Structure 1
């Protein structure tokens, strides 16, 4: 099984790249984010690979990071999500974006991926909410849990008020939730909403 390719970019297509490894060209199917991050033809490239072997084909899927590959695997545990849909999702959303979407139960964010309708997006955020922290690639389980509470509307009033205030200032709900989660770590769970707003704005300005 192939786990990694290290060579030079030979060709970049709409949904794949050909990596030349010592004269042998390997076709790896990649998401949009991974393809955009590759260099021009002739430049060095490294891809982590997930190899799928079927009776009638062998297909390689390429990823820029282990976290992205882990999400690709995890997404396929959801009913109705195969390799094509999983690749589309990680092609649009980074590991951190996916973790936030699951934490906030934000199916609209997931449905930004081509081929992912509202029903599939809803299943993804619902079925992965207890599995995603280990795959977030950023932040602690504690902050992930807090963002989930915010998304489900069960966070303490000062936290909910701080998120609402940041959203009213023009930040997205995802940005506001992440900033307030950071603010809670710095100011403590008992901090007043005014303190959380101030610390949240500080986090957003970094």
Structure 2
């Protein structure tokens, strides 16, 4: 099984990449979170690989960070989720933010990720909540008792998504405006001002 590729990035047509290693070009599928952070064409790249073998195909999925590969593999274990939806999740939300949504049981926010309907979101919460708790590969996924409150940033994130903001946008806004000691209400106010250009 292939677990890692180190080579030259010679092609980039999302979601597909072409990485040349020792004269062989490997086609790799990657989420947008990885594609955004890739170097330019002709530069060296190191990708962590999930090697999927089926009866009629072999597919390589590439990630820059272990947390992304770990989340991808956990998503594939949820009934009804295939690689395409797992890549869409990673393209639409950061790993730590996704872990917070799952731990909070926020089905509404999860359904805003492309490809995830209400039933799939409910399955994700049920099947992944325990797996993401304290998982060292997912930043921000810290152990907490069932029903324990989120931190201020987590509460603000959930609230902003319930107002209709997209997960990726919310994640960026909260990271940008949250200051140490802020409560959820202060973070929400600052984020809304930043979103409205104030």
RMSD: 2.9
Deviations 1:110-167 (A, max 9, x none): 223321112211211222111112436224734x447x5237xxxxxxx9xxx6xx97
Are the equivalent residues in 2 in contact too, given 1:50–1:62 (CA < 8 A)?
Answer: yes
- 1:110-149 to 2 correspondence within 5 Å? 110-135=110-135, 137-139=138-140, 141-142=142-143, 144-145=144-145, 148-149=147-148
Name 1:187's counterpart in structure 2. none
Q: Which has the greater radius of gyration?
A: 1
Are the equivalent residues in 2 in contact too, given 1:16–1:35 (CA < 8 A)?
Answer: no
- Supply the distance in 2 between the matched residues of 1:98 and 1:84 (Cα, whole angstroms): 17
- Supply the distance in 2 between the matched residues of 1:110 and 1:9 (Cα, whole angstroms): 32
Bigger fraction of residues in helix: 1
For the structure 1 residues 102 and 81, does the alpha-carbon distance in structure 2 shift closer, same or farther, using more than 3 Å as the test? same
- 1:1-206 to 2 correspondence within 5 Å? 1-135=1-135, 137-139=138-140, 141-142=142-143, 144-145=144-145, 148-150=147-149, 171-173=156-158, 199-201=181-183
Most deviating of 114-123 and 43-52: 114-123
Query: Number of paired residues?
Result: 166
Deviations 1:167-188 (A, max 9, x none): 7xxx43368xxxxxxxxxxxxx
Secondary structure of the residue aligned to 2:6 is strand
- Supply the distance in 2 between the matched residues of 1:60 and 1:114 (Cα, whole angstroms): 22
Q: TM-score, normalised by structure 2?
A: 0.72
Are the equivalent residues in 1 in contact too, given 2:101–2:110 (CA < 8 A)?
Answer: yes
Are the equivalent residues in 1 in contact too, given 2:49–2:60 (CA < 8 A)?
Answer: yes
Secondary structure of the residue aligned to 1:126 is helix
- Supply the distance in 2 between the matched residues of 1:34 and 1:141 (Cα, whole angstroms): 23
Secondary structure of the residue aligned to 1:12 is strand
For the structure 1 residues 172 and 96, does the alpha-carbon distance in structure 2 shift closer, same or farther, using more than 3 Å as the test? closer
For the structure 1 residues 91 and 140, does the alpha-carbon distance in structure 2 shift closer, same or farther, using more than 3 Å as the test? closer
Secondary structure of the residue aligned to 2:59 is strand
Query: Following TM superposition, where does structure 1 have runs of at least 4 consecutive aligned residues deviating by more than 6 angstroms?
Result: 202-205
Q: TM-score, normalised by structure 1?
A: 0.70
